Amino acid sequence: MHIKSISKKRGYVFIESLIVFLFVLAIVNLSIKIIYNNYIKSQNFKTYRDLYTLEVEEERVLEVINTLAEDNKLDQKELLQKVSKKKSEDYPELKSLKFEYKDGSYYLTRQKENSVMYIELKKNEIGNKAYFTPTTYKTKYIYIKE
């Protein structure tokens, strides 16, 4: 009669199950890292210019600017005055947004207490019509010394 050793089989089964468990654990850990890194990348913006959306209020003011700039007959000062007048008539709640001309560029600015956010607007002309598009969509709020 030959007696088989059962303890040896149990040891191999334990080692095999341990290897399978560690393999599954490594795969789960790797997949969690990949999913988490993709989530962080989707939520993280490398620069503030990566935000390529305008807020609703900014879109409304840009629409007013483009409707008044269509005929392309207005000079710079007239355009600024008419836009501010039309904006105050159509959207009186948008007092913090202003259309300005500084340093050779048009800007849509949003004032918050003592800081300003700038959205640069580029003037595009096709034939005899002009329209504005945002070039640098947003800057951070820049503190103004008073």
Mean pLDDT of the region 119-136: 83
pLDDT of residue 8: 57
Pair (39, 56) in one structural domain: no
Pair (30, 87) in one structural domain: no
- For residues 119 and 109, the answer to whether their CB atoms sit within 8 Å is yes
Pair (37, 63) in one structural domain: no
b/e per residue, 107-116, with b = 16+ CB within 10 A? bbbbeeeeeb
pLDDT at 38 over 90: no
pLDDT band at 50 (very low <50, low <70, confident <90, very high): very low
Task: Find the range with the poorest average confidence among 17-21, 43-47, 51-55, 119-123.
Answer: 43-47
What pLDDT, in 10s, does the model give residues 101-115? 888 888 888 888 788
pLDDT band at 15 (very low <50, low <70, confident <90, very high): confident
How far apart CA 107 and CA 122 sit, in angstroms, is: 9
DSSP-assigned letters across all residues of 115-130: EEEEEEEEEEEETTEE
The reply to whether 1 falls in a domain is: no
